[in-house]
Amino acid sequence: MKITRNIDIPDSEIEFNAIRAQGAGGQNVNKVSTAIHLRFDISASSLPAEYKERLRDISDRRISSDGVVVIKAQRYRSQEKNREDALSRLQALLASAVHTPKKRMTTKPTRSAKQKRLEIKSRRGEIKTLRGRITE
């Protein structure tokens, strides 16, 4: 499975189990195992170490405390479509870990912005003092 141009995961690292799906399915719901349980062990994978760390740091309920990604796909009635759905969801999760967030540059307000802010504050203060009691 291809994640990026440089990163590729062999199919042997991904484990699939067919299980019975929950919910509606007609006559087949109790007979055919159409749902897919995908398991991907992060520590045993061939991913680079920095991506493994990023994956473990993601707070996603699909990643267990042991570092195993568990995805249950039961959206479709066919096992093959559920398998493709599980793979695409795993690919999206791994792609989010590969993406490095852009560093934020700290900025300061300009001198004119500070001056304008202070002028507006003083103007509002004057308006509020004019609302006070009139003493003669």
| Residue 19: pLDDT band with limits 50, 70, 90 | confident
Does 128 fall in a domain? no
What pLDDT, on a 0 to 100 scale, did the predictor assign at position 34?
79
State the DSSP string of the chain: -BSSSS-B--GGGEEEEEEPPPS--GGGGGT---EEEEEEESTTSSS-HHHHHHHHHS--TTB-TTSEEEEEE-SSSSHHHHHHHHHHHHHHHHHHHHSPPPPPPP----HHHHHHHHHHHHHHHHHHHHTS----
Please give the residue that has the higher pLDDT: either 110 or 47: 110
Does 77 fall in a domain? yes
Does 135 fall in a domain? no
pTM, full prediction: 0.65
Instruction: Name which of 17-26, 29-38, 79-88, 101-110 the model is least confident about.
Output: 17-26
Please give the residue that has the higher pLDDT: either 14 or 4: 14
What pLDDT, on a 0 to 100 scale, did the predictor assign at position 25?
61
- Interval 55-104: pLDDT, tens: 887 877 888 888 788 888 888 888 889 889 988 888 888 888 777 778 99
Does 82 fall in a domain? yes
| Residue 29: pLDDT band with limits 50, 70, 90 | low
What pLDDT, on a 0 to 100 scale, did the predictor assign at position 69?
86
Q: At 56, which CATH number?
A: 3.30.160.20
User: In which domain, by residue range, is 57 found?
Assistant: 11-98
What pLDDT, on a 0 to 100 scale, did the predictor assign at position 24?
64
Q: How many domains does the chain have?
A: 1
